[in-house]
Structures are given as structure tokens and as C-alpha cells.
Chain A
Amino acid sequence: MLGTGIIVFRETLEAALFIGIVAASTKGLDKRTRWLSLGVAMGLFGSLLMASAMDSISNWAEGFGTDLVTACILILALAMLAWHCIWVSAHAKDMVKDARSLGSNAASGNSSLWALSVAVGLSVLREGAETVLFVGGLVSGSSESAATIAFSVLAGLAIGALAGWLVYAGLGKVKPQRLFAVTNVLILLLAGNIASQLAKTLNQADVLPYLSDNAWDISDLMSNQSAPGMLLHGIIGYDANPMQLQLLFYVSTVFVIYFASKLVQQRVNKPQLNPA
């Protein structure tokens, strides 16, 4: 029973932290709750679909189907976060202005909200499909009663969601003028985290069978399964023993998005003859 709750908690945690950070980064934007809820709802719906299609997915592509689907989900999520980061840097001034005038239409924020909404949906989808399969397996082949299973699953979900809420509430303590700067960095690191997981997936799928050795191993210091390890993994992509390939993907993603944002920002801030 405890084991069930812990597994559900672990699956929930990453998506919950993701949602907490995204929710904080869109604080004060018009319609953001609607967009993010839509993302979560689509993710949950997708989880059920994906879980029910899992037997075909598993067998597909000579047994590499799961990896390929995961890779596609991660690539799409990465594109959404990259788009958001670059878009935000182009509109940073408007966003700060909008955030200060509370209750404004904040039209500038909505244009990248859809991207974040999709990213949230994909995050829920990835963890959700696994959770559905796990719970489905419990229901079909476990000696525990339905009530016990339901309680453990709900407890795991609730504690995971609580962690996401705590991150959101914690970020709420940041001064409004600094909030975007902080959440932009966090979203950049979330993109790095996704890229690192993409590297692991592509290595597993035998698409990129390179640089598979550990970049480092500090599992004795703080393992991936420890509470701070799991928390930091969800927030900044902490990994106690990443492959070199993962490190390469993480670092280059963060650099590429950062410099692309700076480049776009410079272009936008150039004096223009006919300002939009």
C-alpha cells in the first residue's frame, strides 16, 4: 500500500513541479488559469488514450515504439519551451508593464500561453500514461482491495500536487519585478531537463548510442531517489549520474535557447522607423 502511494507520488511529482513553475511564470496574465487547466485536461485525456494504446506502441518499430513516442513528446515539449523563452525575451518590456497594471488584458502574455499550455499537457501526458498503466495493473492483478488501492493512489497524487503547489507558493514570495527573471531561468532549466531526458531516450532507442558513460557519479552524496534529489530533478533537472550525452544535451539546449533569446531581444530593442 505504501509502495503504491510512493510510485504514484514519484510519477506525479515531476509534472506537478512543472505545472507549479509554469503557473508562477504566468502569474497575473489574463486567461492563464483557463489555458493551463486546458493543458492539464488534455494531458489527462491523452494519458488515458496513450495507456490504452500502449500494447501496440510497445510492440511497434521492432520493440522501440515506446522510446520513439517518448522522444516525440519530449521534442515537442522542448520546442514549446524554447518558443516561450524566445518569445518572452522579445516581449519582456510589455510583460512587465502588463504585470504591473493588474487586471489588464495582458494581451502580450497570451501569445505564448498556448505554448506553455501544450508543454504542460505533454508533461502530464508522459507521467500520466505511466501512472494509468501502473494503476491499471494493480486493479487487474492485485490482492489489495479497491478501496486500499484508491486511497494509496489518491494520497500519492495529493502529495505530488502539494509539492507542485509549494513551489508555486514559494515563487509567489518573489517580488513581482523579479518574478519573471526568476521563472524565465527556471523554464530555461526545465528545457535543459527535457533535453537531458531526450538524450537518455534516444540513447535507449539506439538512435544515439554515443557518450553513454557517466559524466559524473555523485549518487553517494545525493541519489536520484532521495527526496532532495527527486525535488531538484523536477526543478532544475538534477541527475546524480547523467550520461555524457545527457550533459551535452542539457548544456547545449540551455546555451542555444539563451543566446537565441538574447539575439531576438537585441533585434526587437533596436530603434525602429515604424514601431508596431
Chain B
Amino acid sequence: MSLFMFRRLVLMTAFGLALSVAGLSNVRAQEIEKNLVIKNHVFEPAELKVPANQKIKLIVHNQDSGAEEFESKSLKREKVIAAGAKATIVIGPLKPGKYEFFGEFNPATAKGVVIAE
């Protein structure tokens, strides 16, 4: 039993790693970088225009003294960013349209939208 499970585990891990490597090497070539800053619990820019149908690398710099959680239902992203830290969030390729995001720790003020066109 344990040998069988061990073999299966090794196989699955190898498969996972292969997929990961494929994923990493596959993407790097054609991505666009966009910067987003969090300051005083507000996103800057609050309206982020990006090209549709392309992968976008968002570099989110949290300049506040407290952590923030970048969250977007439509983009399917949810990520805590420590105070002062720069985190990367990859989005897309997106169909043309508006994609709202917000800061879960300060939802009243931290709101923004990605506009893909």
C-alpha cells in the first residue's frame, strides 16, 4: 500500500512540476507590465486601461503602513500585499470589458477598475 501510494505521489508531483515549468516558460515572452499604487487606502490609477486579449503583469506597490488585500471577483484574484511591499499579479488575457477590483481591508475607499479594450 505505501509503496503504491508513494509511486503515485511521485508520479503526480512530477506531472505537476512538468506542468509548472511548461507554464512558466510558456508565458514570459509576451507580457505587458502595468503599475498600480496603493496610497492612503486608494488605488492609483483607479482606472487602469489595458489591451484586451493579452496577458498583463500588474505590479502592485502598497505604500501604506498597513497591509491590503487586492481582490477582484471578475478577475479571480485575491492577494495580500504587506505594507511597503511590491507584489505581482498576472491578469488576462481579458475579453474587452470592465473588471472591478477593490482592497478587501479598506473596501470603502480602495476601489478600482481594469478596462480592457
Q: Which residues of A line the B interface, CB within 8 A? A: 3, 7, 54-55, 57-59, 62-67, 86, 90, 129-130, 133-134, 136-138, 140-141, 200, 202-210, 212, 219, 224, 241, 243, 260, 264, 267-268
* 15 interchain pairs, CB-CB under 8 A: A57-B82, A59-B85, A63-B86, A66-B87, A129-B80, A136-B67, A137-B83, A204-B76, A206-B23, A206-B90, A207-B20, A207-B24, A209-B26, A209-B90, A260-B8
Residue from B26, B67, B68, B105 with most neighbouring chain A CB atoms (10 Å): B67
Pairwise interchain contact B23-A66, C-beta atoms closer than 8 A: no
Given contacts A3-B108, A63-B59, A141-B64, contact A90 B1 (CB under 8 A): yes
List the A side residues contacting B77 at CB < 8 Å.
204
Cross-chain contact of B69 among A130, A212, A264 (Cβ < 8 A):
A130
List the B side residues contacting A137 at CB < 8 Å.
64-68, 83, 105
Given contacts A54-B85, A62-B88, A209-B23, contact A140 B78 (CB under 8 A): no
Pairwise interchain contact A141-B66, C-beta atoms closer than 8 A: yes
Pairwise interchain contact A58-B82, C-beta atoms closer than 8 A: yes
Is B5 engaged at the interface, CB distance under 8 Å to the other chain? yes
List the A side residues contacting B79 at CB < 8 Å.
66-67, 204
List the B side residues contacting A134 at CB < 8 Å.
67, 69, 105
Complex Cα gap A164–B15 (Å): 36
Q: What's the minimum C-beta distance from A264 to chain B, rounded to whole angstroms? A: 6
Main secondary structure of the interface of A (DSSP, over half): helix
Complex Cα gap A77–B33 (Å): 33
Complex Cα gap A268–B2 (Å): 12
Is B96 engaged at the interface, CB distance under 8 Å to the other chain? no
Is B27 engaged at the interface, CB distance under 8 Å to the other chain? yes
Is B97 engaged at the interface, CB distance under 8 Å to the other chain? no
Interface size for B (C-beta < 8 A) is 39
List the B side residues contacting A200 at CB < 8 Å.
76, 78
Cross-chain contact of B82 among A3, A55, A224 (Cβ < 8 A):
A55
Residue from A207, A243, A268 with most neighbouring chain B CB atoms (10 Å): A207
Complex Cα gap A136–B79 (Å): 17
Is B104 engaged at the interface, CB distance under 8 Å to the other chain? yes
Complex Cα gap A268–B67 (Å): 50
Q: What's the minimum C-beta distance from B105 to chain A, rounded to whole angstroms? A: 5
Pairwise interchain contact B66-A136, C-beta atoms closer than 8 A: yes
List the B side residues contacting A260 at CB < 8 Å.
5, 8
Pairwise interchain contact B66-A206, C-beta atoms closer than 8 A: no
Q: What's the minimum C-beta distance from A244 to chain B, rounded to whole angstroms? A: 11
Other A-B pairs beyond A58-B81, A64-B88, A260-B5, 14, CB < 8 Å: A3-B108, A54-B85, A55-B84, A58-B62, A66-B79, A66-B81, A133-B105, A136-B66, A137-B64, A141-B65, A204-B89, A209-B27, A209-B55, A219-B73
